[in-house]
Amino acid sequence: MICERVSDVIESILHQPFGSLAFPIAENTLRIRIRIKRNAVNKVMVLFGDRYQPIAKDLAIEMVRVDADELFDFFQVDLHLPTRRFRYTFFIVGREGDIWYGDKGAARDRQNAGDFQFPYINEADRFTVPEWVKEGIIYQIFPERFANGDQNNDPKHLAKWGDKPKPNNFFGGDLAGIIEKLPYLEDLGINVIYLTPVFASPSNHKYDTIDYYQIDPHFGDLNTVKKLVAESHRRGIRIIFDAVFNHCGNNFFAFQDVVKNGENSEYKDWFHIESFPIKTEPRPNYETFANDVVTMPKLRTANKEVRSYLLDIARYWIREADIDGWRLDVSNEVDHSFWREFRHAVKEEKKEALIIGEIWHDAAPWLEGDQYDSVMNYLFRDAIYDFVAKKSIGVASFAARLTKARMKYKDQANFAMFNLIDSHDTERFINSSGFNENSLKLAALLQMTYVGMPMIYYGTEIGMDGFNDPDCRKTFVWDEKEQNADLLTYYKKLIAIRKKSSALTKGDFRSLIVDEIRQIYGFIRSYGTEKAVVVINALPIEQEIEVELPFTASEAKELISGKEYLVKEQVVKIKIEGEAGIILQF
């Protein structure tokens, strides 16, 4: 019977037969999730079968409660069907009553609930990301500030390496510098480099492109890029470029043609122009990035010629320089239909190329599988910022924020995320935390053990600091005496741990401990029989924790300290320092 209490449960249920709640993960396998009011149900069953078969032939399978946020439990299960045509209904065993749940809603009997339909798993629609992402550890470089490898291409009026960055000053960093420092990066252990823009542009950040086909002369040329990619590949490091396709620089040839020829320009439909001639005062009469940034005219990607021009660029750099993917600047303001064509072009040119959007908010509409592989995971960053750096939320909110972010997306995208704690667009994490090195180490530990690729913003690993842009874009500190050697060692250790652990790179994620009183957070990563249990102590004092395991084991190795622990009756007793964490391997 549906009593009053059960009614509240019904209102909390969320399932749709698409998006992040029903997505194929293999040729014949559909992963489904359902969200239900927290702690309200004992069990969720799924009855499913081929859409053309009678209900009597249906199979029943129990769902697993994979996680929870403050309000909801999330259940998940994988359905296998050789015919790939799914019909399914939920049977929810509630604490205060049972209900069927289907496409017609909640009901006392199956027929009135109806069936959800996932009509067919089509190969052309399947979301696949490059297999290598699971092993990926990213290093983000702002080329003008990383290393100056070639003094001959330096801009005039160079500021001194180490000086304070200003919006418009230059320090001479270049691609030759990156090539020179590859041994450092290899030693650190990263295997993906994401470079902010490198194409010809008058600015130090180069987000105002003049020529998408030319490497900025202060950075190098086509040969330098080819060498960078080849040398990187030789060391097992992939290279990702930054595609600034939302807007160009005002010195881009097409925009200059419009400036010169006005209404008669053959490029006038490449932009969003209100009137001719082009003017910038009192405000620009053309659409720009953000509001009235006159140096960045917005490109009109609805225009076929613009599309074709940009897609050629996307293909060109993969073909010519063998780059391994594109990060897409301001990608949420460019149309979905362009990104669909972009994915098609990029994957056709290089099947294993990666596509990462810059989206700071819910990116679900771009992560359906037809556009990007992943995004810069600012939802992850925001959660760590609030919890670890600012301590403005507790562990329960933190865990909930991570769960919510993961449940927004299909797992293919979750494993391909760029999990960052800082970037060229934020203050450095060490600054956010009030220069608390323990906080930074804790954030790094979470990054290195979470689902998705950890992304290190150049220099964060040696303790570089910086407030918001331009301060976060300081020159790299190459003098080892000035580096935080202890921090660097810690980063290297974490990276090595992650790379050696299939559980940490490829494993499923489940929350294990969310202790709001002691501010303890723990989770399990499992891959086959391999398991890693990560536990962090967010309070600034040492705490002894009893980690109850949901599996049997006799002993565990803590990977940071190398210590061995005995498991007694499925419990590991372990001391964790203040603002620190441990990684137990089983």
State which of residues 25, 364, 496, 512 lies at the interface with a copy of itself (CB under 8 A): 364
Q: Is residue 16 near a copy of itself by the rule CB under 8 A?
A: yes
Which residue number, 282 or 528, has a Cβ lying nearer to a copy of itself?
282
Distance of closest approach, residue 27 Cβ to a copy of itself, in angstroms: 11
Structure-derived torsion over alpha carbons of residues 34, 122, 81, 65, reported in degrees to the nearest 10: -20
Which residue number, 14 or 230, has a Cβ lying nearer to a copy of itself?
14
Q: Is residue 58 near a copy of itself by the rule CB under 8 A?
A: no
Sole residue written with tokens 């399978």: 61
> Residue 390, Cβ neighbours under 10 Å: how many?
13
Which residue number, 199 or 398, has a Cβ lying nearer to a copy of itself?
398
Beta strands in 314-470 (DSSP E): 325-328, 354-357, 374-375, 418-420, 453-457
Question: What is the 8-class DSSP label of residue 204?
Answer: S
Which residue number, 80 or 518, has a Cβ lying nearer to a copy of itself?
80
Torsion-angle region of 107 (φ positive above 0: left; ψ -120 to 50: alpha; else: beta): beta
Q: Is residue 550 near a copy of itself by the rule CB under 8 A?
A: no
Which residue number, 103 or 465, has a Cβ lying nearer to a copy of itself?
103
3-state helix, strand, coil in the chain (%, to 5): 35, 30, 40
Q: What is d(CA 386, CA 432) in angstroms, rounded to the nearest whole number?
A: 9
> Which residues, 6 or more positions from 519, have their beta carbon under 8 angstroms from its beta carbon?
394, 395, 537, 538, 539
Distance of closest approach, residue 539 Cβ to a copy of itself, in angstroms: 22
State which of residues 58, 96, 103, 471 lies at the interface with a copy of itself (CB under 8 A): 103
The HSE-up count of residue 420 (CA atoms within 13 Å, CB side) is: 25
Point out which span in 100-108, 220-228, 478-486, 554-562 binds a copy of itself (CB under 8 A).
100-108
What is 267-299 written as a DSSP string? Answer: TGGGB-BSSSS---SSS-SB-BSTTT-TT-BBB
State which of residues 151, 264, 337, 468 lies at the interface with a copy of itself (CB under 8 A): 337
Q: Is residue 82 near a copy of itself by the rule CB under 8 A?
A: no
State which of residues 204, 250, 295, 332 lies at the interface with a copy of itself (CB under 8 A): 332
Distance of closest approach, residue 434 Cβ to a copy of itself, in angstroms: 20
Question: In degrees, to the nearest 5, what angle opens at C-alpha 448 toward C-alphas 444 and 451?
Answer: 130
State which of residues 98, 180, 211, 333 lies at the interface with a copy of itself (CB under 8 A): 333
State which of residues 120, 213, 253, 551 lies at the interface with a copy of itself (CB under 8 A): 120
State which of residues 11, 27, 305, 312 lies at the interface with a copy of itself (CB under 8 A): 11
Q: Is residue 294 near a copy of itself by the rule CB under 8 A?
A: no
Cβ distance 567 to 532 under 8 Å?
no
Which residue numbers are catalytic? 329, 358
* 393-425 CB burial, b ≥16 within 10 A, e <16: bbbbbbbbbbbbbbbbbbbbbbbbbbbbbbbbb
| 310 membership: H or E segment, kind and range | helix 304-321
Distance of closest approach, residue 394 Cβ to a copy of itself, in angstroms: 13
> Which parts of this chain interact with a copy of itself (CB under 8 A)?
7-8, 10-12, 14, 16-19, 37, 50, 52-53, 69-72, 83, 85, 103-105, 115-117, 119-120, 122-125, 290-291, 301-302, 332-338, 340, 359-362, 364-365, 370, 401, 404
